[in-house]
Amino acid sequence: MQDSSSDYLLEVENLRAFHTSKTGLIRAVNGISFGVKEGESVGIFGESGAGKSSIALSILGIFNKVSRFYATASASEESERLWALHDKARKKGMTPEEMGEELPGVWGRVLFKGKDLLALKEKELRKVRGNEITYVPQGLAGSLNPYTEIDLQTAEALWAHDDDDILWEREVARRVLEVLDLVEIGDVDIRKSLKPGEFSLGEDQRILIAMALIMEPSLMIADEPTTAVDVGVQQRILDAIILAKERLGLSVLMISNDQGVMAETADRVGVMSAGKLMEFGDVHTILKSPGHPFTRAFIMSNPPMELMRTIREKGLRIRGIPGNPPDMANPPAGCPFNPRCEYAKEVCREQMPEYREVERGHWMLCHRYEELPEFIL
Q: How far is the CB of 357 from ligand SF4 (least distance, A)?
A: 16
The H or E element containing residue 11 is strand 8-21
Report d(CA 211, CA 374) in Å as an integer: 45
Q: Tell me how far, at minimum, the Cβ of 343 lies from ligand SF4, in Å.
A: 4
Pairwise CA distance, residues 367 & 115, whole Å: 34
Q: What is the C-alpha to C-alpha distance for residues 301 and 322, in angstroms, rounded to an integer?
A: 10
Whole-number Å distance between alpha carbons of 19 and 83: 9
Nearer to ligand SF4, 139 or 320 (CB): 320
Cβ(26)–Cβ(102) below 8 Å: no
**In terms of Cα–Cα distance, which of 106, 133, 130, 103 is closest to 118?**
106
Q: Which residues bind ligand SF4 (CB under 6 A)?
A: 293-294, 335, 337-338, 341, 343-344, 348, 353, 366-368
Judged by beta carbon, residue 206 or residue 367, the one nearer ligand SF4 is 367
SS3 of 160, please?
helix
Nearer to ligand SF4, 192 or 367 (CB): 367
The helix (run of H) or strand (run of E) holding residue 257 is: none
50 versus 335: smaller Cβ distance to ligand SF4: 335
Measured from the CB atom, is 238 or 344 closer to ligand SF4?
344
With respect to ligand SF4, which residue has the nearer C-beta, 7 or 371?
371
Nearest Cα neighbor of 357 from 260, 273, 285, 252 is 285
Nearer to ligand SF4, 83 or 294 (CB): 294
Residue 292 CA to residue 229 CA, distance in Å, equals: 30
- To the nearest whole angstrom, how small is the minimum distance from the Cβ of residue 326 to ligand SF4? 12
- Looking at the Cβ atoms of 133 and 272, the one nearer to ligand SF4 is 272
Distance of CA 269 to the CA centre of its chain: 11
CB of 144 or CB of 348, closer to ligand SF4: 348
Q: How far is the CB of 72 from ligand SF4 (least distance, A)?
A: 37
Cβ proximity of 251 and 36 under 8 Å: yes
Residues 96 and 89 sit within 8 Å (Cβ to Cβ): yes
Q: Are 30 and 133 in contact (CB under 8 A)?
A: no
CA separation for the pair 20, 129 (Å, rounded): 25
Euclidean distance between CA atoms 20 and 51, whole angstroms: 14
DSSP string, 53-83: HHHHHHHTT-HHHHHHHHHHHHT-HHHHHHH
Q: How far is the CB of 279 from ligand SF4 (least distance, A)?
A: 10
